[in-house]
Structure 1
Amino acid sequence: MPKLYSARVIIKSFKKAGFYKVSQKGSHVKLKGFWRGKLQTIIIPNHKEVAMGTFQSILNQASMTLEEFLKVIFLPFFFKPEAFSQNL
């Protein structure tokens, strides 16, 4: 069974990708941001675990693939700017 993400992780990842929180009604958070040159609006249910079908729907709303989402999550672990700076 694939890993289920919490709303907190999903929201944090979309914020890393440039999305910002617009509003919240009850247990649903609305984010907006530009992705692939278009303004995208996504709604994320604020649950401890977001069902896989719901997660896929969120990615579809954002026009984002799973691979792109995972790159956003794991980018800080693979790219460390201090590793490229050298004192000359």
Structure 2
Amino acid sequence: MKVLVNRGGFEWRRTAGDHAQLYYERPTDETDKRHVTVPLHDELRAGTLRGIADAAGAHDFDDFCAWIDRNS
């Protein structure tokens, strides 16, 4: 969640229970809008992380994980 907000251009707009609601809108393309829900847990299952990557617009899960690691 922190990497998506600090390095990925997502905006943390609200928290619903123990989930952060992140939003992204590409400045040059108003049709490119994304909404990502991220559980605020210490650890995430691989399937949950894959869903976050898909919602964030990642095309390659392994590249997404490497980007998270580099920016953590």
The normalised TM-score by structure 2 is 0.74
Residue 17 of structure 1 aligns to a residue whose secondary structure is: coil
Consecutive unaligned residues of structure 2, counting only runs of 5 or more, are: none
Aligned length: 65
Residue 42 of structure 2 aligns to a residue whose secondary structure is: coil
Q: Distance in 2 between matches of 1:53 and 1:39?
A: 22
Q: 1:54 to 1:68 in 2, by over 3 A?
A: closer
| Letter of the 2:55 counterpart | Q
Runs of 4 or more above 4 Å deviation? none
Residue 25 of structure 2 corresponds to residue 34 of structure 1: yes
Consecutive unaligned residues of structure 1, counting only runs of 5 or more, are: 1-10, 76-88
Which protein is bigger by CA-based radius of gyration? 1
Q: Distance in 2 between matches of 1:53 and 1:25?
A: 21
Q: What is the RMSD computed on CA atoms of the aligned residues?
A: 2.2
The normalised TM-score by structure 1 is 0.62
1:47 to 41, 57, 68: 41
- Which of the pair is proportionally richer in helix? 1
Percentage identity across paired residues of the two chains? 20
